[in-house]
Structure 1
Amino acid sequence: MYKSIYVPVDNSKLSNQAINSAVALGKVFESKLTGSHVYAAKMHDYRFKQMEYTLPDEYRQEGELEKQRKVHDSLITMGLKLISDCYLDDMDKKCQNEGIPFERRMMDGKHFVEILKDLNNPEKDFDLVVLGALGIGQMKDSQIGAVCSRVTQESSKDVWVVKNSPEEKNANSDTILVCIDGSPQSFGAMTTAIEIAQKFNKKIELISVYDPYLHYMVFNGIVDVLNDKAARVFRFEEQNQLHEEVIDTGLAQIYQSHLDVAEDMIKKENVTISKKTLLDGKAFQKIVDYARKESPWLIVMGRIGVHSEKDENGLGSNTENLIRVSPCDVLLTTRLEYPEIDKKAEETILWTPEAKERMKKVPDLVRGIARTGILRLAVEEGHSVITNVVIDKAMDRFMPKQVADKTEKLGESLAFAAAKMGDVAMCKKCGVSANASDAVKCSVCGGTDFETVTKEMVEKIINSEGGAQDEKTYDGKSLSWTTDARNVLRLIKDMYQKRRAKALIEKHARIKKMQAVTREFVQNVLTNDLAIPLDQAATQALEKEFGNSILTADQAEDSIDQSKKLVARDVKGNPLFSVFEWDQDASARILKVPAGFMRDRVQTSVENLALDKKLLQINLSLVEEGIAAGRQQMEEMIMASTGQKPEKKPDPRVDQMNEVGVIQEMDKQRLRH
């Protein structure tokens, strides 16, 4: 598979480990290894010339200066070449010990530029680069070095990014983790992983991640900025229920089918597959979290994924993020592989004109996913022509009939109505909730082990956490929060983070058809998905006073600031705290400002005005003045972000600046002084 392996070296810790990894690969694949080092003699020469004026006078004489230039040039060039040779000696010895052909490469220039030139040399035909994620310039907060970053971005070869030294716990792991998203690149990565697993006697583990939370958080973020007309056109409730009951479940099933297809391909190669895992969330984050927990030997993935354009270069966003924070080595592959079932479908199945026309209406972003699902169904059922009837059958698989009927009357049937009326069955394998409490088989992963959450169990939890209160989500649905759960969320000081966390918690709860959001559920989401740190003082107060319990509502509010008092609440129960006294009209006016970031900014502006004017009581006029000031600040921020310059107000004295006016102004200035 890998017949020519290229290894850039710089004598750093990870570079030396890259040599070891490359030698191990070269031994099992019978490859030729090329070690390279780039030195910067020209750069040193340029810097020396820049610094010549700082030399003592006796060295700045013309003859002496020319002599120094020649000596410096000779020493630097020769010295750097000797260093490069020494760097490559170690790799040469290791290759000789294993009987592996070895070639040295030394270049003068900018590191990544020369490496990429070497890799693109058609005479060399390298098919794998092995390099350390960090080099000799590593600092304590470094994630990835400049050379590794540019080579992984711009190289057209497979790249093995070395993240670990031999003493790391992953070094002796027997598992290769392969990331599957249904793209030819991901199946190509899996095929590469199979060959590596066979050579190194490793097992393969499959992981796939779909994201049902993005749309909810986006919708939640824009609901307050749309005017009434735009909101009616967008139809938040219908959009979100479509995602919850159709797209989210359908995505889960399709990604599960990708795992199933990959599993079949692996079994045909007689390689052990230890596990396949379907997760929901942001792909790179879930993969990193999983890798930190399971400690695989290697992560293998395509350079780009299912959402990339066909001829796209560079790295996909998940790939780029993963190589920065992965706890183990990462192999980025360029290979394309089409599963037999997909190749068979593309080659043997025709589409009627009506079916083709119908597919044109599918959004570009999900058209490929939908097409794959329909083709796989056609192969399973033996169809040679895809008609509208076949598409309808595929829709029934990914969008059950009862759901399709409900989407015609989205305004009349809400997602939580069924869950609040009875028990909910949750699949223990993938965590997806079934529509029926007596479910037998999970529609996503095929699991048969369910945990039933009864109404009585939920009521018991609610009572133990101080009762529950319904809150409206952005699309008008009701979701119950226990008092303890609301108090945990209230401890997040950053208003943007709080809003983002609340949206993610709501989406998690709706997917799982939860009857109420509990304290434990909120803490799990904050810790595992967002890694939001709670206020340290508040957290300590929780542990000291209640152990694993939580503060009551009044105690949580008191912990905000002992010098502030509760002034009023808005219709949603959001409190207004202040050290000032507020007139009723003033508090009513500020509570009309959207809660969160905007209200906090306006309140700060109003209270600063009160301090400037030495007032202890805030009235309506002061609030209006603060709102106007806040609006002006917002306009200036927008102009600054767009590069616009604010219009200058004309000086009222300009019209008077004729000859007489100038004389009068000068007289006024003299009188003042």
Structure 2
Amino acid sequence: MFKHIYIPVDNSDYSNTCIDLALELAKGHETKITASHVYAAKMHDVRFRQMESGLPEEYQDEEELEKQRGIHDQLITKGMEVITDSYLDVPKDRCKEAGVTFEGKSLEGRNWIELVRDIKETDYDLVIMGALGLGAIKDSQMGTVAERVIRRIETDTLVIKDIPALHGEKSYSSDKVVVAVDGSGHSFGGLKTGIEIARNLNKPLEIISTFDPYFHYAMFNSLTGVLSREASKVFKFEQQEKLHEDIIDKGLAKIYQAHLEISRKIAEEEGMECTIRLLDGKVFEKVLQYAREENPYLLILGRIGVHSAPDMDIGGNTENLLRLVPCNVLLSSKVFKPPIDMQAEETIEWTVEGKERLKKIPGFVRPMATAAILRYALERGHSMITSSVITEAVQNILPAGAMQAMRAVGQRIKEEDETLKGTLLDDVSDEIMKAHAATSDQAIVETEEEKEARLSKEVIEKFEEPLTPELEVAFSKDAVGHDVTLKCGECGTLMKSDVIKCFVCGATGETLSPVWKEGFVPNDQEKEGMSTVTSFDDVEIQWTQDALSLLESYPIGHIRRKACARVEKNARIQNIKTISKAFADSLLNDRIVKQKVEVPAKNYMNYGSEHSPEDFNWSKEALERLERVPKGFMRDNTRNRVMGYCADNNIKDISLEACEEGIRESVKMMEQAISQGAGLEDFIPKNEVSA
């Protein structure tokens, strides 16, 4: 934990909260707390001399003036020393009571200059200071002293922003320690600190990461208004979007999910449980939204991010979040790089040719060579190790002729069966043999295709019987004829219905749940006055007027373009041809922290099945609406849900409107069920077996 904690004090509410937290972090550890207060006696002396010309006439005599100067200097200096000692007595007495080693420092000069000098000259490993001090006013966000100090030091700094006595108790607070990671050494350093703080304060730990898949879509749409027709042809909008949608966006999601998986492993190795969450959107916007909804106890940010220059004082996202989040913030200056093998496991893959090439390296040095190749690939940003990458790595790592020499030694050992006991080579060989002993009997290595087939079989075996052809067709379409979209419950990635494994986090089975889209279908009234928009790559997308009105509530310019990009890109991913207000609202006003809802105590699959179609009077339009649902259990299930809704509302004559409303209400029920953990099997009809 922390060995030396530093707290600037000024007797403000923020300063006193700093003392409380410092003592809590020091509890049970051999931690020293140093508190300081800076007073500016010389500044008051200069100010008095500036005001001398305005003194009453009786004080204008030179002898009297010198006398008043002396009195003023003595009173101000002595008074400030007394005030400083009084400020320092508070943490001194608290530390004495708690049995914590304490040191007080009385500093004279400009407050932020003296604080920066003291921090740089002393071995503090944590600075705790208030976001505001005695000079705070109603609309203050960050005090000038705190901001100037933060920009000029390289020590972990915890900024107190949330004081319940001042700001009132929040209606909801997760009380979590939250770490934002982006793959930088500073963010992973913050993770190591966050693990210790969460353990010490007995608070839950959550790790978040954010990527933006919408930037390029918004940018491409904005370019269509400035590029000429000839330039547009050269730019190739359609191919650019396909490149981003199929490769870059998915690759970004996988990279940031890998940061989360690495973070989880680091926490597990430290014996700390944690949760992880992947957010999509602009980093500042999504983390701020998350902090406002989640209300964590502490948000930990790297002082600079993965794309910052090494000499940057503070990153842009960190600076903006520090000002606006409603919780305490820790800026991490500590740098930590996860082990090469841990990073590689989550971020590096090998081509078949690369694996074959690796097998040709002599077995007794293969682990060392593998680690060296992985390090080379990570340092240069490779996520796929090919045969050419191995060649580059070997040429950069080993001197000329080294590989040939190792092969010769390996061949000699193989032919002459030399043991070379007592040598380093023998020690390495023994270790490698032990490591591979458990797998030596397995002659056949599972291929990727075999692995996919096995995973597919495991998914199918979760159900009582394999899907019939009718069910396979039904599962490819939902109740309104849309292609089914699956959503990963682990990372939130959307994907087509034919996948068996999330391409971002690797989740399988029940974790992949269908996105139910019936609630997004516009009714007849909404379909009136629809507008067709052509995107930069000539894809036509329909918007209802209500949806456009919602979009137009955003400020014109880049903010509106970003909102439009988020809606249109998600519509394309989910194959939704018409954007309704409900769909747009679900994205633009989506909450990161889902509110807990009560799930109706109904059997989702059998809801309405106790009724018979003959119990109701169906209009022609209602029957035609049902015909649009794929034949089989999907249509039967939809009809049952409509009957269940109508029965609950004492409706005997089922009109088109009642049918549509029944579908929408049942979809809400199903979405609630999914949010509470219901899986795909909960919506599949079970065959009853008679004894």
TM-score range, shorter chain: 0.5 to 0.7
Counterpart contact for 2:186–2:333, Cα < 8 Å: yes
Q: Which residue of 2 aligns with 1:299?
A: 299
Quote the offset at 1:460 in angstroms. 4.1
Residue 132 of structure 1 and its aligned partner are, at CA, apart by 0.5
1:115 Cα deviation after fit: 0.4
Q: Indicate if the aligned counterparts of 2:126 and 2:156 stay in contact, CA closer than 8 A.
A: yes
Residue 495 of structure 2 aligns with which residue? 434
Instruction: Say yes or no: does 1:261 pair with 2:297.
Output: no
Contact 1:254 1:369 in 2 (8 A): no
Contact 1:433 1:513 in 2 (8 A): no
Quote the Cα distance in structure 2 between the aligned partners of 1:433 and 1:312.
38
CA shift for structure 1 position 500: 4.6
Of 580, 592, 612, which aligns to 1:518?
Answer: 580
Q: Which digits, 9 at most, give the CA deviation of each residue in 1:285-322, with x for residues without a partner?
A: 2222222222322222321222123x233111221122
The more displaced of 333-342 and 41-50 is 333-342
The equivalent of 1:588 in structure 2 is none
SS state of the match for residue 264, structure 2?
A: helix
Secondary structure of the structure 2 residue equivalent to 1:475: coil
- Please give the alpha-carbon distance, in whole angstroms, between the structure 1 residues aligned to 2:51 and 2:316: 42
Written as runs of structure 1 = structure 2, the 5 A alignment for 1:104-253 is 104-121=104-121, 124-167=122-165, 169=169, 175-253=176-254
2 CA distance for matches of 1:297 and 1:512?
A: 36
**Number of the residue aligned with 1:574:** none
CA contact (8 A) 2:300 2:332 kept: yes
- Alignment partner of 1:441: what SS? coil
Q: Check the 8 A contact 2:298/2:328 in 1, yes or no.
A: yes
Report how far residue 277 of structure 1 moved. Answer: 0.7
The change in CA–CA distance for 1:458 and 1:104 in structure 2 (over 3 A counts) is: closer
CA distance in 2, matches of 1:150, 1:336: 22
1:240 shift after superposition: 2.8
| Alignment partner, residue 546 of structure 2 | 484
**Which consecutive residues of structure 1, in runs of 5 or more, have no partner in the other structure?**
360-366, 390-395, 401-417, 531-673
Cα distance in 1 between the residues matched to 2:51 and 2:487: 70
CA contact (8 A) 2:482 2:576 kept: no
Could you tell me how far apart the structure 2 residues matched to 1:136 and 1:342 are? 50
In 1: Cα distance, 2:72 partner to 2:211 partner: 58
SS at match of 2:5: strand
Q: 1:179 to 1:10 in 2, by over 3 A?
A: same
Question: Could you say if the C-alpha distance between residues 499 and 179 of structure 1 is closer, same or farther in structure 2, counting changes exceeding 3 Å?
Answer: closer
Q: Is the 8 A contact 1:422 1:454 kept in 2?
A: no
For the structure 1 residues 222 and 56, does the alpha-carbon distance in structure 2 shift closer, same or farther, using more than 3 Å as the test? farther
1:327-406 to 2 correspondence within 5 Å?
327-342=326-341, 348-349=369-370, 370-371=381-382, 373-374=383-384, 386=390
Distance 1:528 1:59 in 2: 69
Q: 1:454 to 1:287 in 2, by over 3 A?
A: closer
Find the residue that maps to 2:27 and give its secondary structure: helix
Which string of whole-angstrom CA distances, capped at 9 and with x for unpartnered residues, describes residues 152-207 of structure 1? 22211010111122556579865211112222222221111222223222321111
AA aligned opposite 2:534: K
Distance 1:350 1:93, change over 3 A: closer
Once residues 4 and 520 of structure 2 are traced to their aligned partners in structure 1, the CA distance between those partners, rounded to angstroms, is 65
Structure 1 residue 133 displacement after superposition: 0.9
Q: Cα 1:384–1:269, aligned 2, differ >3 Å: closer, same or farther?
A: farther
Segments of 5+ residues of structure 2 without an aligned counterpart are 349-367, 394-447, 453-476, 593-691
Partner AA of 1:198 in structure 2: R
Q: Secondary structure at the match of 2:494?
A: coil
Contact 1:188–1:335 (8 Å) recurs in 2: yes
SS in 2 for 1:51: helix
Q: Deviations over 1:94-143 (max 9, x none)?
A: 0110111111112222211110000111xx31111000111112122211
After superposition, the C-alpha distances for 1:581-618 in whole angstroms (9 at most, x for unaligned) are xxxxxxxxxxxxxxxxxxxxxxxxxxxxxxxxxxxxxx
Quote the residue 1:34 is aligned against.
34
Partner of 1:561: none
> SS state of the match for residue 104, structure 1?
strand
Stretch deviating more after TM superposition (504-513 or 107-116): 504-513
Amino acid at match of 1:424: V
Q: Which residue of 2 aligns with 1:47?
A: 47
TM-score by length of 2: 0.63
What does 1:450-489 align with in structure 2 at a 5 Å threshold?
450-452=512-514, 457=518, 460-461=521-522, 463=524, 465-467=526-528, 468-489=530-551
Q: Quick one: distance in 2 between partners of 1:331 and 1:244? A: 35
1:596-643 superposed Cα distances (whole Å, 9 cap, x missing partner): xxxxxxxxxxxxxxxxxxxxxxxxxxxxxxxxxxxxxxxxxxxxxxxx
The 8 Å contact of residues 178 and 206 in structure 1, kept in 2 or not, is answered as yes
Deviations 1:227-251 (A, max 9, x none): 4454444333332332222111111
Mapped to 2, the partners of 1:10 and 1:459 lie a distance apart of: 56
1:279 — aligned with what? 279
Aligned residue for 2:549, secondary structure, equals helix
- Deviation, 1:88, is 1.1
Q: Which moved more, 1:278-287 or 1:86-95?
A: 278-287
Contact 2:521 2:580 (C-alpha < 8 Å) held by counterparts: no
Q: 2:613 corresponds to which residue?
A: none
When residues 485 and 343 of structure 1 are mapped into structure 2, their CA distance, relative to the original with a 3 A threshold, is: closer
Q: Deviations over 1:358-401 (max 9, x none)?
A: x9xxxxxxx97943x337xx9xxxx9974699xxxxxx99xx9x
Deviation at 1:61, TM superposition (A): 1.7
**1:94 alignment partner in structure 2:** 94
Q: CA deviation at 1:21?
A: 0.8
Q: Within 2, Cα distance between the matches of 1:38 and 1:212?
A: 48
Query: Matches of 2:219 and 2:239 in 1, distance apart?
Result: 15
> What is the SS of the residue equivalent to 2:182?
coil
Residues 203 and 271 of structure 1 are in contact (CA less than 8 Å); yes or no, is this contact kept in structure 2? Answer: no
Aligned residue-pair number: 482
Shift in Å, 1:339? 2.1
Q: Could you list the per-position Cα deviations for residues 21-43 of structure 1 after superposition, in whole angstroms to 9, with x for gaps in the alignment?
A: 11212223321111111112222
Aligned amino acid, residue 99 of structure 1: G
Between the aligned partners of 1:470 and 1:14, the Cα distance in structure 2 is 54
Q: Give 2:483's aligned residue.
A: 423
Helix, strand or coil at the partner of 2:208 = strand
Q: How does 1:525-564 map to 2 (within 5 A)?
A: 525-527=587-589
Write the distance in 2 (CA, Å) between the matches of 1:212 and 1:369: 23
Report the Cα distance in structure 2 between the residues aligned to 1:370 and 1:156, rounded to whole angstroms: 27
Change (3 A) 1:250 1:330: same
SS in structure 2 of the partner of residue 276 of structure 1: strand
1:182 and 1:513, CA in 2 relative to 1: closer, same or farther beyond 3 A?
farther
2:76 alignment partner in structure 1: 76
Partner Cα separation in structure 1 for residue 188 and residue 57 of structure 2: 68
Q: TM-score, normalised by structure 1?
A: 0.65
Give the superposition deviation at 1:494.
4.5
* Structure 1 counterpart of 2:602: none
Q: Mean Cα displacement is larger for which, 174-183 or 48-57?
A: 174-183
